[in-house]
Chain A
Amino acid sequence: MALAASARTRPHYGGTLRIEIQGDAWAPDSLARRLVLNTLTDLSDSGTAQPALAIAWSAQNNDQRWDFQLRPQVRFHDGTPLTAEDVVVSLTSACAVPMGSAAASGAPAVACPWNAVYVAGPSEVVITTPAPQPDLPELLAQTRFSVSKQDDTGQLEGTGPFRVAGFSGGALTLAANDDCWQGRPFLDSVEIFTHRAIRDQWLDLSVGRADVVQIPPEMLGQAQQQHLDILVSQPLDLLALTLDAQGSFADPAMRQAAALAVDRASLYNVIFQKQGEITASLLPEPLSGYSFLFSTDRDLMRARTLRGGAPARPITMSADPGGGTLQLAAERLALNLDEAGFAVQMAPPGTPSTLDLRIVHLDEASPLAALDEMLTRLGQTVTVNGTDPHALWLAERTALQNYTVVPLLWLPRAWAVGERVRDLRLSPHGEPQLADASLEAAR
């Protein structure tokens, strides 16, 4: 019996794991990118930077000059060795690639935290920043700073545990990288089925056509009722309302009135079925420790007072593309604002509007890096003067007092796992770490 038990717990090599997702396979924060590409650093469970493609780093000049030593013997999927030049090209080009919804809307690139990246030796890259950047190693763990290169055919080559094997029938096939510096993954391949509705994913999971499927936060309770094997991350997605400080919301008082009119409790209790946490902060409470200082209460009377008797000019609102729940939340917020005297008209998802309901993903796991990331992703230009919680709170309060961003909820990411999947954990980014997973019975 003991031998049998031991045999069941030993990982098997081989097999194809099928995972289904709602979105695009190659989205900026997608699972596929993390499986194919590596970053210079990675995040530990505690949120601190740990070696990845860089094995060591050091800061000089008051955290404004960082020297990264590259891991030796790392090769791209096409067999070419990783060089310092490849890293410099990747990091430089990362600053030209818009992120998230900004990419969809054609917004300009997100600013990088450095002002220069250059080769300092065969395996040494130096990054200089315009201001002290003590959290630069953590920032470099974000997928947007992944290291990659294009081969002669234009295909993207990475150094991750899987390589792109093909795309057909709505599925992206990734094959195991036998020469991965992290070691060969247990799985032979991974098939990522894209643009699958949640109901279909659950159905496929129930009949064994899928091994890993997504669970939206609002369906976690339902998944638990169905006794699915669930992996839930820490709150990593911020549901936030952004306000265009022009036109109807040029007046800060109008924006404050809108911020006071939103009813977070109904979003949390009903639409998201009590998942995640109510927030008025850019960071989750477990990460910052001060989120409770930002009031989440609704004050409709004050909102009406602030709005005064201003004529109700039509205001457009849209939600990020991503399903009916976001649209429902946006319609609820429209009702909230309607109670305060605003005339809100719903626009199709993804349409640039005065009010946007956005989902902003948090990659970072340390407070300073996380705040930097959120400020950057939300287009806020606030300088954080220090690393202590008080400095972070001051910076966040300064950003939120503009009322151009109204944080609403922090939501977790969750996955349902099939019975044959073993040793699957979630990364600090909320993605399944498929490189460490195996299948119980390889087929």
Chain B
Amino acid sequence: MTLRQKLLLMFSITVVGIVAAVAWTVSVRVRRVFEEMDREQTAALVNQLQREFDQRGSDTAAALDRMASSDALRRIAFELANGGDAARYLTVAATLAQEYQLDDLELVGNDGNIISSAQWPARFGYPEPVIFSAGKPAFLKQEQLPDGSEEIGTFAVRSVSGSSPPLYIVGGRALDAATLRTFPVPAGTQVYLYRNLTAEFDPGNFGAPVQAVSSATAYRQLVDQARASGQNAEGVVYPTLRRQDSVNATAIPLKGANGGVLAVLVVSNSRRGMVEVQNHIRAIAYGVAGIGILFAVVMSLWIAARVSRPIEQLARAASQVAAGDWHARVEIHTRDEVGVLAETFNHMTEQLAEQRERLVQSERVAAWRELARRLAHELKNPLFPLQITVENMTRARALPPQEFDEVFAESAATLRAEIENLKAIIARFSDFSKMPKPQVETIDARDAVRRVTALYEPALREKRINLRVPMDKEPLLISADPELLHRALSNLVLNAMDAMPEGGTLTVSAAQQGDAARISVADSGAGLTPEECERLFTPYYTTKQHGTGLGLAIVQSVVADHHGTIAVERGENGGARFVIDLPLLAAGVTA
């Protein structure tokens, strides 16, 4: 990743992070405000509903009190107490219920059996156990109806005034969905009644409104919690998959006289307003974040122009230097740290170029000196016999002709031999300067090794040198000039033979090493010092008394011409080990 990309990413993350943090904080704060409002609204509504319930209970009890004191009921009680036929009053409850605006009313005899029932007239003669609550405040009660359904209502029980034995009246007003609709609730608030008729949650036990507007099962968890604990339960309910349809709901258990939960009142406040505000905040945050990212792009481009571009120029210049372009320079436009760095880089490259030039010149001088020394050394050896021979011939002029002829003949032969020697020396120098271009063909590297070892095997045996030739079984096909390669390997073998004048072991191997064919020539001689290893391939450098210092240079030249590498290292037996890596041909490729 480039510096510019890093800067862009860093700026974008920073902007988005800040925007997200601000949006989240505002959203949370808004949610808390709405939740607090919902809590206050729900608490107020619950209190209001509680007052409504209490009022309905008081109204019911008051209606029953009035009824218990009415002449009509006192007359009925009197007649019943004096042997009157209870059957005559079968329909009285319905009439009284209508008169006193009650949904449910039962006249119950002293024996606890129903005399007349408004809500279920056919239940006459059946027991009504609730008469034991006579005189107590109104309470919630579950009442069965003829059609098999059940309703919940606020009930009270009273005995008719002055009746002896007592005649009871059990009356109530239904608490259902229709009743809830009469309660004053603010906009956005819904009140539902879940009748606790079954052990398992049943959506059908909700009033009609909740079934009409939403999924009743969404309230299951809250209702079950309130039913199980008998305490209020609060939570967020999602009637649909849309967040704006979610509500803050409070489930309030409504308990009967025996403490059992008869119904659960569900008060739900719409979260639509809060969700819409949150969505608005989110939309603004997206907008700000988008603008911020654009700003970050512009900023990164500007900063890149100011910061990363000089650094990129520096990097490119460094790459050029690494590639050998010692004249690479960086333009300086600023005076800041980057400008100083660029100036320092330019100064450094200038110094490096100057030092390299001096190094080249010094090496060139050293090479000439070495060449002169070698030439002097090589030429000095044949010149001394030549001088001696010439002096002998000069002195031989004083000898008798016969002796002079003999000396002359011997001197002439010596002169010819030494001249031949000089020619050979000059030819070797000439060969080094005229290395031929490789004539490559596909060969097996193992064949090149076999050819060299077969050539020198008799000489090795004569010098008591053991030859080991470990090779891969698979062909090692390379693209090479067999003659040049043979010449290079011969030089290495001859060097090894020179390094083991007292005998030893020569190991010549050929094996695959990655994508290359590795040929190694290792001797068990005295080995090389680190300095020798460093200078070994320098032309005219030799460790031998009569060497020209061109053998390994020729080897290195041949290997380089074949796109390979050569290295020298310490062998396993303490001697020197030359390692040549030549690129293998890919399968199916020929030179």
Contacts and interface: CB of A to CB of B under 8 A. Distances in A.
Contacts of B88: 221, 273
A346 B87 contact: no
A274 B126 contact: no
A270 B120 CA distance: 14
A216 to B, nearest CB: 12
Interface stretch (A12-20, A123-131, A328-336): A328-336
Interface string A319-353: 00000000011011011000000000110000000
B125 A346 contact: no
B146 A346 contact: yes
Contact of B122 (A269, A273, A328): A328
Interface residues of A, number: 15
Interface in B84-108: 86-88, 90
A58 interface: no
Max chain B C-beta neighbours (<10 A), residue from A274, A332, A334, A345 = A332
Contacts of B146: 331, 334, 346
Given A273-B87, A273-B88, A274-B87, A331 B148 contact: no
A331 B144 CA distance: 13
A247 to B, nearest CB: 19
A266 B120 contact: no
Interface in A263-300: 266, 269-271, 273-274
Given A346-B146, A346-B147, A335 B87 contact: no
Contacts of A273: 87-88, 90
Nearest to B116: A270
Interface string A358-388: 0000000000000000000000000000000
Contacts of B345: none
A269 B147 CA distance: 24
B486 interface: no
Nearest to B121: A328
Contact of A270 (B90, B147, B148): B90
Max chain B C-beta neighbours (<10 A), residue from A221, A270, A334 = A270
Interface in B111-169: 120-126, 146-148
Contact of A331 (B86, B87, B90, B121): B121
Given A271-B90, A273-B87, A273-B88, A345 B123 contact: no
B270 to A, nearest CB: 39
B474 to A, nearest CB: 87
B127 to A, nearest CB: 12
Given A270-B90, A273-B88, A345 B122 contact: no
Contacts of B124: 266, 270
Contacts of A334: 122, 146
Contact of A335 (B86, B90, B123, B147): B123
A314 to B, nearest CB: 9
Contact of A269 (B87, B121, B123, B148): B87
Interface residues of B, number: 14
Interface string A42-85: 00000000000000000000000000000000000000000000
A270 B87 contact: yes
Contacts of A345: 147-148
Contact of B125 (A266, A274, A331): A266
A383 B501 CA distance: 148
Interface in B414-459: none
Contacts of B148: 345-346
Contacts of A328: 121-122
Contacts of B90: 270-271, 273
A201 to B, nearest CB: 17
Max chain A C-beta neighbours (<10 A), residue from B87, B120, B126, B148 = B87
Contacts of A271: 90
A335 B125 CA distance: 11
Nearest to A332: B122
A221 to B, nearest CB: 7
Contacts of B147: 345-346
A328 B146 CA distance: 10
Nearest to A335: B122
Contacts of A266: 124-125
A315 to B, nearest CB: 12
B121 A335 contact: no
A278 to B, nearest CB: 14
Nearest to B147: A346
A437 to B, nearest CB: 32
Nearest to A270: B87
A345 B147 CA distance: 7
A269 B124 CA distance: 11
Nearest to B120: A331
Contacts of B121: 328, 331
A148 to B, nearest CB: 41
B123 to A, nearest CB: 7
A339 to B, nearest CB: 9
A329 B124 CA distance: 11
Max chain A C-beta neighbours (<10 A), residue from B86, B120, B146, B147 = B146
Contacts of A269: 87
A335 B123 CA distance: 8
Contacts of A221: 88
Contacts of A332: 122
A346 B87 CA distance: 24
A328 B122 CA distance: 6
A316 to B, nearest CB: 11
A229 B86 CA distance: 26
A396 to B, nearest CB: 29
Interface string A399-417: 0000000000000000000
A108 B56 CA distance: 55
A224 to B, nearest CB: 12
A271 B124 CA distance: 10
Nearest to B90: A270
A334 B146 CA distance: 9
A331 to B, nearest CB: 4
Nearest to B87: A270
Nearest to A269: B87
A221 B148 CA distance: 32
Nearest to B115: A270
Contacts of B122: 328-329, 331-332, 334-335
A274 B87 CA distance: 9
A79 B540 CA distance: 163
Interface in A407-443: none
A345 B121 CA distance: 16
A346 B124 CA distance: 18
Nearest to B146: A331
A329 B120 CA distance: 12
Interface in A221-278: 221, 266, 269-271, 273-274
Contacts of B125: 266, 270
Interface string B303-346: 00000000000000000000000000000000000000000000
Contacts of A335: 122-123, 126
A330 B124 CA distance: 13
A114 to B, nearest CB: 43
A271 B126 CA distance: 14
B194 to A, nearest CB: 24
A274 B90 CA distance: 13
B206 to A, nearest CB: 22
B122 to A, nearest CB: 4
Interface of B: 86-88, 90, 120-126, 146-148
Given A270-B124, A273-B88, A331-B121, 14 more contacts: A221-B88, A266-B124, A270-B125, A271-B90, A273-B90, A328-B122, A329-B122, A331-B146, A334-B122, A335-B122, A335-B123, A345-B148, A346-B146, A346-B148
19 contacts: A221-B88, A266-B124, A269-B87, A270-B86, A270-B87, A270-B124, A273-B87, A273-B90, A328-B121, A328-B122, A329-B122, A331-B120, A332-B122, A334-B146, A335-B122, A345-B148, A346-B146, A346-B147, A346-B148
Nearest 4 CB-CB pairs, A to B?
A331-B122, A332-B122, A270-B87, A331-B146
